[in-house]
């Protein structure tokens, strides 16, 4: 049988949010490749090889997956959420770009429910009109670029979703983000901290930018900031369709 590589999103945490298409790919796989906590979410079964690796080795991991598939394995690379959102799909194509001998392989990308959409659904509809998603980690890009995009998004009155809000290498970064948002958007703007959405540890809190503190976010939190029209209705937060 010929091998293949599929990069699949496992959703934000709950098994109920794994798509049937992803479950089917996992059931057909001979090999699972991914970051340790994501591989741990795949049920072990006889004949299924698990290859868990540490953070920050994404391209090596993708190359390994391509090599396994070239040798006939059916490989699923797992990401949390959606594999195309700050995750393994781009790393796979980086590896493929550098390995022309693997470019004829059967490669597929299966979408998943990304953290910001799961979080927004819990809060109401804070991303109900135009929005931006920004990765606040400066592992792979300079901090100045993050600030420039943040400022542009805030000035254009986009609602925003922030992933990786507190990078271990730059713990002070998120404090700077809050400062910049307060300067551009004012203190009354709504901000939602959504932690471990769809898991037993889930926690959601919405405050104003004036009330927000850096400690409200950690690496399991996605942060949603409304635009100038985002408001509360009862216990919900929403952005009108006209905004």
What are the residues binding ligand SAH (CB under 6 A)?
12-13, 79-82, 85-87, 114-115, 119, 163-164, 194-199, 219-222
Q: Name the closest residue to ligand SAH (Cβ).
A: 81
DSSP tally for the chain: helices H, then strands E? 7, 13
Chain-centre distance for alpha carbon 147: 19
CA atoms within a 13 Å half-sphere pointing along the CA-CB vector of 14: 13
Q: 73 vs 181, which CB is nearer to ligand SAH?
A: 181
CA-CA distance, 94 to 79, in Å (whole number)? Answer: 16
DSSP-derived pairing of the beta strands 221-225 and 159-163 = antiparallel
Q: How far is the CB of 201 from ligand SAH (least distance, A)?
A: 9
Q: How far is the CB of 186 from ligand SAH (least distance, A)?
A: 24
Asked if residue 123 lies in contact with residue 224, where contact means CB atoms within 8 angstroms, the answer is yes
Q: How far is the CB of 221 from ligand SAH (least distance, A)?
A: 6
Asked if residue 95 lies in contact with residue 59, where contact means CB atoms within 8 angstroms, the answer is yes
Task: For the chain, give the number of residues.
Answer: 243
Q: How far is the CB of 115 from ligand SAH (least distance, A)?
A: 3
Q: 80 vs 227, which CB is nearer to ligand SAH?
A: 80
Q: How far is the CB of 71 from ligand SAH (least distance, A)?
A: 27
Q: 3 vs 124, which CB is nearer to ligand SAH?
A: 124
Q: 87 vs 160, which CB is nearer to ligand SAH?
A: 87
Q: 160 vs 197, which CB is nearer to ligand SAH?
A: 197
CA-CA distance, 82 to 7, in Å (whole number)? Answer: 9
């Amino acid at each position: 049988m010929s091998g293949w590589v599929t990069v699949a999103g496992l959703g934000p945490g709950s098994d109920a949010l794994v798509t049937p298409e992803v479950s089917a790919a996992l059931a057909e796989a001979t090999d699972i490749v991914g970051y340790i906590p994501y591989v741990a979410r795949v049920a072990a079964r006889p004949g299924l090889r698990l290859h868990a690796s540490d953070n920050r080795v994404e391209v090596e991991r993708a190359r390994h997956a391509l090599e396994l598939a070239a040798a006939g394995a059916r490989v699923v690379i797992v990401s949390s959420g959606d594999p195309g959102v700050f995750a393994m799909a781009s790393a796979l194509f980086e590896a493929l770009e550098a390995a022309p001998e693997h470019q004829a392989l059967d490669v597929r990308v299966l979408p998943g429910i990304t953290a910001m959409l799961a979080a927004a659904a819990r809060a109401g509809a804070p991303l109900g009109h135009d929005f931006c998603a920004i990765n606040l980690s400066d592992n792979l890009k300079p901090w100045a670029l993050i600030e420039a995009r943040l400022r542009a998004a805030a000035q254009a009155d986009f609602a925003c979703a922030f992933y990786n809000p507190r990078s271990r290498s730059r713990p002070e970064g998120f404090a700077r983000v809050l400062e910049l948002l307060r300067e551009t958007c004012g203190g009354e703007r709504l901000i939602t901290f959504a932690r471990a959405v769809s898991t037993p540890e889930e926690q959601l809190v919405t405050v104003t930018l004036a009330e927000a503190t850096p400690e409200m976010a950690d690496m399991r939190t996605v942060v949603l900031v409304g635009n100038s029209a985002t408001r509360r209705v009862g216990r919900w937060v929403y952005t009108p369709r006209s905004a």
